[in-house]
Amino acid sequence: MRANPHICKLLPYQPGLPINLVARNYGIEPKNIIKLASNENPFGMSPKAKTALLTSLDDAHRYPEQYNLLQALSQKLRVAPEQIVLGNGSNDVLDFVARTFLHTGDQAILSQYSFAIFNIATQSTGAKSLIVPAKNYSHDLPAMLRAITPQTRIVWIASPNNPTGTFAKYADVKQFLQSAPPEVIVVLDEAYFEYLPANQRADATTWLEQHPNLIITRTFSKIYGLAGLRIGYGITSPQVANLLNRVRQPFNANNLAIAAAVAALNDDDFVAKSFIANQVGRQQLIDGLQKNKLSCLPAYGNFVTFEAKNATGLNAKLLQQGIIVRPLANYDMPNHLRVSVGTTEENTKFLQSLKNAI
Ligand SMILES: *Cc1c(COP(=O)(O)O)cnc(C)c1O
């Protein structure tokens, strides 16, 4: 077999351990396992989304139609439907961006400790990733700007970033966009946008008119609780959306996900409840970690990343107690663990298990 050399060099994405796998390996009942490894919404999905999902089963034999979700997003975001690109999860959109703008010999810029898919999407096209050292585990935007060369086609930015949880101020991202060459695509991955307090948010979609090279990505996997349905989207200029839609498989977003997403988008109460619970739960985790003398990175999403000397050993002891968190050795952060914000009860159990482990 002669696979493409750049594919052979790729390291596969490592997801959080599934509950059933841990149940089998550790002999624990699945119902006694707490998974805080993939930044999922601990409350599940909105009841309205669930109702819409069940109703949509009657359409599961039909090929999907995107119209309803494009309309709902267009209204909510105040952008034209032609500016929205739906993905089978927002990772799908990241992949379209790479396939549309990169080929062998090109370069994409990303930050050290930023989202793993940026590098995977880049390398899978044969292009090279230029990794700019992080500053205090955050994107160093001025350094990323200086790193741009004539070979640079894309700059990938995640804010809040995963796995660190750090956040790049909107004023700084805007400054970056204003200084970057207009032919370079700037991706702003906002998977955790809905978890930002109103006073720290800016509406980057209003920058698109001036900056048609900007692509914002968002997802229904996090606050909306639809991770398993796989639905996300990109918002960009009509020109760029038109290009991305050429590589998009026509039926990438399915009927069930589209129906659930429309309902989820309009359930403001569920989002508000999830937001508040996340604020409280995140503080609970930070306080508990600090009590155990573990220092946390600034946390702007629905997870907390903390430093632990023997992270591998600590992770193993947590698994034995049925607690799944995320080790970050594959992100070159071998002394950190990432824990998602769960329900109050889940957070309490995690902190208790952590205390036992230490
Ligand atoms: C979770 C996450 C996503 C969402 O991916 P989906 O494919 O929409 O599930 C995207 N970007 C970052 C940085 C994330 O952490």
Q: How confident is the model over 298-351, as pLDDT tens digits?
A: 999 999 999 998 999 999 999 999 999 999 999 999 999 999 999 999 999 999
Q: What is the pLDDT of residues 17-29, one digit of tens each?
A: 899 999 999 999 9
- Would you say residue 1 has pLDDT above 90? no
Q: What is the average pLDDT value for the chain, to the nearest integer?
A: 97
Q: How far is the CA of 109 from the centre of ligand 1 (A)?
A: 18
Q: Which atom of ligand 1 is nearest to the CA of 161?
A: 13
Tokens of 193: 């946008």
CA–CA gap between residue 65 and residue 265 (Å, rounded)? 17
CA–CA gap between residue 322 and residue 324 (Å, rounded)? 6
- The one-letter amino acid code at 263 reads A
Q: What is the pLDDT of residue 143?
A: 98
Residue nearest to atom 2 of ligand 1 (CA): 191
Q: What is the pLDDT of residue 11?
A: 84
Average pLDDT over residues 48-68: 97
- R_g (Cα) of the chain, nearest Å: 20
Name, in order, each residue with C-beta under 8 angstroms of 135's C-beta and a sequence gap of 6 or more: 143
Q: What is the pLDDT of residues 90-146, one digit of tens each?
A: 999 999 999 999 999 999 999 999 999 999 999 999 999 999 999 999 999 999 999
Q: How far is the CA of 114 from the centre of ligand 1 (A)?
A: 12
- Would you say residue 14 has pLDDT above 90? no
Residue nearest to atom 1 of ligand 1 (CA): 191
Which residues line the pocket of ligand 1, CB cutoff 6 A? Answer: 39, 89-91, 115, 158, 162, 189, 191, 219, 221-222, 227, 232
CA dihedral defined by 11, 332, 301, 317, rounded to 10 degrees? 100
Name, in order, each residue with C-beta under 8 angstroms of 255's C-beta and a sequence gap of 6 or more: 56, 59, 60, 62, 64, 65
Q: How far is the CA of 316 from the centre of ligand 1 (A)?
A: 26
Q: Which atom of ligand 1 is nearest to the CA of 115?
A: 13
Q: How far is the CA of 27 from the centre of ligand 1 (A)?
A: 31
Q: Which atom of ligand 1 is nearest to the CA of 160?
A: 13
Q: Give, in order, the Cα–Cα distances in Å from 201 to each of 25, 29, 160, 211, 280.
A: 42, 41, 11, 19, 19
- The one-letter amino acid code at 270 reads F
Q: What is the pLDDT of residue 65?
A: 96
CA–CA gap between residue 15 and residue 337 (Å, rounded)? 14
Q: How far is the CA of 230 from the centre of ligand 1 (A)?
A: 10
Instruction: Name the packing angle between helices 90-101 and 238-247 (round to 10°).
Output: 100
Residue nearest to atom 11 of ligand 1 (CA): 191
Q: How far is the CA of 117 from the centre of ligand 1 (A)?
A: 9
Q: What is the pLDDT of residues 158-182, one digit of tens each?
A: 999 999 999 999 999 999 999 999 9
Q: How far is the CA of 92 from the centre of ligand 1 (A)?
A: 10
